Each structure stands twice: as structure tokens, then as C-alpha cells.
Amino acid sequence: MAKRTPERANLLQGTLDMLILRTLLYGPAHGHQIGKHIQRTTNDFLQMQHGSLYPALHRLERRGWVTSKWEMAPDRNREFKYYRLTDKGRKQLVVEESQWKQMAEAVARVMWPAAEES
């Protein structure tokens, strides 16, 4: 679709992927739950855009990091599409987490050099 600046897109995309994978670590969840969870946990700081959530979920599925299955919801008498973390997805989460950490540290070093020294 539209051209985006690649670095920024990767960053955002990667971050969202990581957040979703992390959320699924608690157990299987459907799209709505995942979105709500991220939104609640960040105290509504990250407004979950469904427009990016669903594409992200399908992208993760394509890459084999999550699987999906239609299952009955325990509290509602209806089926939802549940996403579940795969082993590959678990490994990916570790990788992304460490990358994110490195990046956060690198950014921190630039932004607050004094804090680093002390």
C-alpha cells in the first residue's frame, strides 16, 4: 500500500508484534481480548488500533509465531478465534525482547548520559 519510511514502520511493527506475543504468553486469547489487554495494561497510553491489530495478528500467523483456532469462549456462549503462542513464537519473543532492551538502553545512553555515569 502506501509508502512508509521503512525504519519507522519496522520499529512500530516490531513493537506491536512483541506486545502481542508477550500478551499471548499468559495463554490463548482472541483479537478483542489482546487489544483490550494492551490498552488496559498501558493505562490507555497505547490506544489499540484495530486497523493495525488484525493485520499484525495475521502477519504473525503467516510467520508461524502464533496459531489460531475457533473455540468456545468460557464466559460467552459463542465461538471466538483464539490465538495461541507457538514454540517458534516464544523464541521470537525472546529475540525481540532482547533487541528492544538493547535499543532502549542505547537510546537511554544518548538521552541521559549523566545518569549513565553516576
Partner 1 sequence: MKWWKIGKRDADLERELQSDLELEEEEQRERGAAPEEARYAALRAFGNPSLISEQTREVWSWDRLGTLLRDLRISIRTLARQPGFSAVAVLVVAVGMGATVSLFTVVWSVLLKPLPFDHPEQLVRLYESSERFPANVVAPGIYGEWKRESRSFSDLALYQDWPQYNLSEGGALPEQVRATICSWDLFATLGVQPRIGRSFTAEDDQPSANGTVILSWSLWKRRFGGDSSVIGRKINLDAKPYIVIGVMPRWFAFPEQKVQIFLPVYHERTPEQMAQIDNHGFVVIGRLTPGVSREQATQEVSAIVRRIHDAHLDRPFMSSGAGIRPLIDYLVRNVKPALYMLLAATGCMLLIACLNVANLLTARSAARAREIAVRKVLGGGRFRLLRAQLIETLVLFSVGGAAGLALAYAALRWFVITRTDMVRAESIGIDAVVVATVAGLVLICALLAGLIPVLASRSGNLVAALQESSRSSTSGHSRTGVRKVLVGAEVAFTVVLLVSAGLLLKSYMRLRSNDLGCATDKILTMHFTLPEVHYSKPAQRVSFFDDLLTRVRALPGVDAAGLVRAVPGEGYFGDGSVTIAEHPPLPQGQSLLAIVRWADPSYFAAIKIPFLRGRTFGSDQRLDGAKEAIISAEFARQFFPNEDPIGKHLIGFGRGSYEIGSYEIVGVVGDTGYELAEPPEPMMYFPIDAGIESGAALVVRAARDPESLALPVQKVIQEMDRELAVSDVLTMNQIINRSSLDASFEATLLAALAGISLLLAAVGLFGVLAYLVTQRRTEIGIRLALGAQREHVLHLMLLDGLAPAFGGATVGSLLAIAAAQLIRSSLFATKPLDPAVFAGVIGLLLGVATTACLIPAWRATRVQPATVLRSE
Would you tell me which residues interact with partner 1 (CB under 8 A)? 1-3, 30-32, 49-52, 54-55, 58-59, 62, 76, 78-81
Q: Which is nearer to partner 1, 15 or 113 (CB)?
A: 15
Q: Distance between CA 11 and CA 114 in Å, rounded? A: 26
Cβ 52 to partner 1 shortest distance, Å: 8
Residue whose CB is less far from partner 1, 32 or 101: 32
Q: At its nearest, how many Å lie between partner 1 and the CB of residue 3? A: 7
Q: How far is the CB of 33 from partner 1 (least distance, A)?
A: 9
CB-nearer residue toward partner 1: 59 or 90:
59
What DSSP string describes the chain? Answer: -----HHHHHHHHHHHHHHHHHHHTTS-EEHHHHHHHHHHHTTTSS---HHHHHHHHHHHHHHTSEEEEEEE-SSSSSEEEEEEE-HHHHHHHHHHHHHHHHHHHHHHHHH-HHHHH-
Give min distance, CB of 97 to partner 1, in A. Answer: 23
